[in-house]
Copies of this chain bind each other. A is one copy, B any other.
Amino acid sequence: MSIIIKVNMSTKNITTAENPAYKLLGGRALSARILLDEVPPNCEPLGPKNKLVIAPGLLAGTPITSGSRISCGAKSPMTNGIKEANSGGNIGLFLGRFGIKAVVIEGLPTDDNTYVLRIDKKGSSLLVMNELKQLGTYDTDQKLRATFGKDIGVLCIGPAGENRLKMAAIASSDPNGELKFAARGGLGAVMGSKGVKAVVVEKTLQQPVYHDRQVFMDMVRTIHAEFINDPKIKNVNQKTGTATIVKAVNAMGALPTCNFRYGAIDGVDGLSGETMYETITSRGGEGKVGVSCMNGCLIKCGNIYPDASGKKICSTLQFENIALLGSNLGFTNLDPVAMLNYECDDIGVDAIEAGAVLGVAIDMGMGKWGDLDGCMALMKEIRSNTLLGKVLGHGVQVTGDVLGSRRIPAAKGQSFAGYDPRALKGNGVTYAMSPMGADHTAGNCFGSRGEVNPLATEQQGDLSKSLQYKMCALDSLGFCIFARPPLFKDPSRMSTLVNAFLGTGLSVDQLWEIMGVNAVRTEREFNIGAGLSPANDKLPEYVYAEPLPPTNEVFDISEQECLKAIV
């Protein structure tokens, strides 16, 4: 089945149709295709012509581990180009099981009501639920569970999305009642502009139709066995999670510190994955490590971070947020990071962007480094949607522009992630060249630091390019990027899964081409139409000029080398 649900918020009309042309596309690749086909690229991101595409990955609904992520896509109010952000949670699994390839929310309401889109086995309907207005994501999720049952899949926005702040995220409920985030690029603002507070999908046990279930399940078993037998999964991912790399990034001098003024911080131990693990396990209570964000995920890199009394502060504390809300704001302790992280999650903003915003604000004199109260006060401004809150809530480019900063850590209007491009130059290339703007998930070179010297001025273009289309393929299939070792070890496993599922005869090359290369090219084509010409493929001037301690490197990758990264 290739069901596309279209929800027109101008007319409140919902249509459901099969579109076999989209058979081979899922997640990010499908979102890119629909957007290029249906949205005028130079339209206003928060206007009636933009569409929000909610598309589970191609393999979503199947039991393959870490393979039912939900992809959200739209023209981004942050980058003014195309954007895709994906997350874990239940909803991808349920949509996949229903055979729904995409939910496309279009138009713009003329009324002020708060809508919930409900999808169940009987179909789709729009409900007015004004009682959810301006609720945080956690309250929203709980009220929806109270209304529709605790096992639903939920996508929702917080006040930031309703207030159409450009750094608004989309939250996705996970099997533990926690929220994960399709955070980057302001897709929550697009959802908010449509008047949709939440999408609720009924839990279903319905199973997808397989072309060859046996072959598919055999491959699932092969891959799962490798995960289960991989000691790294158990000893690293399930303990220190993505925070495993905090010390390594600090050691290479790429850890954002005090608004990207330094690449390392004294006292990094206080932010490390090891400290996180010890804190969570020693505090006990609601604290947990080894938490899955999708049903059946074997990686389990999630956690619940508790306070000293054992009460949950936030879930999940992870590397990017520790970098941006931690060292980048001058903290060397995880408690304030976790508290800021919860604020971001509940307000419904991208925690990476928020950390960059606070960093620029403090750097411009609006606070002090390592001052939790000051940071919480700024977060409160965002939640309350004051003038200052709006400025901050529109992200680091707007914040820096308004305040007159010349040190805005952003590319294509979107903040850098947790790697300073001067000390991990491949990520600088990705930030500059990816259609996604400064987004580490679009092609993170950190994992390749053994193959390509992070400070080298060569090979970075090819590395970024290769990662860009490979990560895109994962995003399109519905895989978490941490699932890549057993998949990339033998990429024919991915084509085997797809072919057994759909009855196609894809080669590995064709898989990379369709899920990865073509999708990124489609995104780039959209961006060109949106007015993001190649002249926009750049980093801010200060990273070319200001040496970053302790490596004292600048971003010195030639334009020619960067151009190699065009997929």
Is residue A20 contacting chain B, with contact meaning CB distance below 8 A?
no
Is residue A406 contacting chain B, with contact meaning CB distance below 8 A?
yes
Is residue A530 contacting chain B, with contact meaning CB distance below 8 A?
yes
Q: Which residues of B contact A536 (CB under 8 A)?
A: 42, 531
Task: Report A268-308 CB contacts with B as 1/0, cut-off 8 Å.
Answer: 00000000000000000000000000000000000000000
Given contacts A387-B387, A391-B391, A528-B533, contact A49 B541 (CB under 8 A): yes
Task: Report A385-397 CB contacts with B as 1/0, cut-off 8 Å.
Answer: 0011011001000
Task: Report the contact-size class of chain A (Cβ under 8 Å from the partner).
Answer: 20 to 34
Is residue A43 contacting chain B, with contact meaning CB distance below 8 A?
yes
Is residue A164 contacting chain B, with contact meaning CB distance below 8 A?
yes
Is residue A402 contacting chain B, with contact meaning CB distance below 8 A?
yes
Q: Which of B46, B401, B535 contacts A529 (CB 8 A)?
A: B535
Q: Which residues of B contact A70 (CB under 8 A)?
A: none
Contact B404 A164 (CB under 8 A): yes
Q: Which residues of B contact A44 (CB under 8 A)?
A: 406, 540-541
Q: Which residue of B lies closest to A534 (CB)?
A: B531
Q: Which of B388, B401, B531 contacts A398 (CB 8 A)?
A: B401
* Cα–Cα, bound, A543→B229 (Å): 62
Task: Report A503-543 CB contacts with B as 1/0, cut-off 8 Å.
Answer: 00000000000000000000000001111110110101100
Q: Which residues of B contact A538 (CB under 8 A)?
A: 42
A554 to chain B minimum Cβ distance, whole angstroms, is 14
* Cα–Cα, bound, A398→B390 (Å): 11
Contact A163 B387 (CB under 8 A): no
Contact B541 A535 (CB under 8 A): no
Q: Is the interface of A mostly helix, strand, loop or mixed?
A: loop
Is residue A403 contacting chain B, with contact meaning CB distance below 8 A?
yes
Given contacts A44-B406, A401-B398, A402-B391, contact A535 B531 (CB under 8 A): yes
Given contacts A398-B401, A528-B533, contact A47 B541 (CB under 8 A): yes
* Cα–Cα, bound, A23→B406 (Å): 37
Q: Which residues of B contact A49 (CB under 8 A)?
A: 541
Contact B46 A406 (CB under 8 A): yes
* Cα–Cα, bound, A540→B49 (Å): 12
A188 to chain B minimum Cβ distance, whole angstroms, is 14
Q: Which residues of B contact A164 (CB under 8 A)?
A: 404
Is residue A41 contacting chain B, with contact meaning CB distance below 8 A?
yes
Oligomer copy total: 2
Q: In A370-401, which residues have CB < 8 Å from any B CB?
A: 387-388, 390-391, 394, 398, 401
Q: Which residues of B contact A394 (CB under 8 A)?
A: 401-402
* Cα–Cα, bound, A46→B540 (Å): 12
Q: Which of B41, B402, B528 contacts A402 (CB 8 A)?
A: B402
Q: Which residues of B contact A529 (CB under 8 A)?
A: 535
* Cα–Cα, bound, A46→B394 (Å): 21
Contact B535 A530 (CB under 8 A): yes
A397 to chain B minimum Cβ distance, whole angstroms, is 10
Contact B402 A398 (CB under 8 A): yes
Q: In A403-417, which residues have CB < 8 Å from any B CB?
A: 403-404, 406
* Cα–Cα, bound, A536→B535 (Å): 13
Contact B406 A47 (CB under 8 A): yes
Q: Which of B41, B406, B540 contacts A535 (CB 8 A)?
A: B41
Q: Which residue of B lies closest to A385 (CB)?
A: B404
A558 to chain B minimum Cβ distance, whole angstroms, is 14
Q: Which residue of B lies closest to A366 (CB)?
A: B387
Q: Which residues of B contact A533 (CB under 8 A)?
A: 528, 531-533, 535
Contact B388 A387 (CB under 8 A): yes
Task: Report A43-63 CB contacts with B as 1/0, cut-off 8 Å.
Answer: 110111100000000000000
* Cα–Cα, bound, A360→B6 (Å): 33
* Cα–Cα, bound, A46→B400 (Å): 12
Most buried by B among A394, A398, A531: A531
19 A-B residue contacts at CB 8 Å? Answer: A42-B535, A44-B406, A44-B540, A46-B404, A387-B387, A387-B388, A387-B391, A387-B402, A390-B403, A390-B404, A391-B391, A391-B402, A394-B401, A398-B398, A398-B401, A529-B535, A531-B531, A531-B535, A533-B533
With A43-B541, A46-B406, A390-B404 known, 10 other A-B pairs at CB within 8 A are A42-B536, A44-B540, A46-B404, A47-B406, A49-B541, A387-B402, A390-B403, A394-B401, A530-B535, A531-B532
Which residues of A are at the interface with B, using a C-beta cutoff of 8 A?
Answer: 41-44, 46-49, 163-164, 387-388, 390-391, 394, 398, 401-404, 406, 528-533, 535-536, 538, 540-541
The 3 residue pairs across chains A and B that have the minimum distance between CB atoms: A531-B535, A533-B533, A42-B535
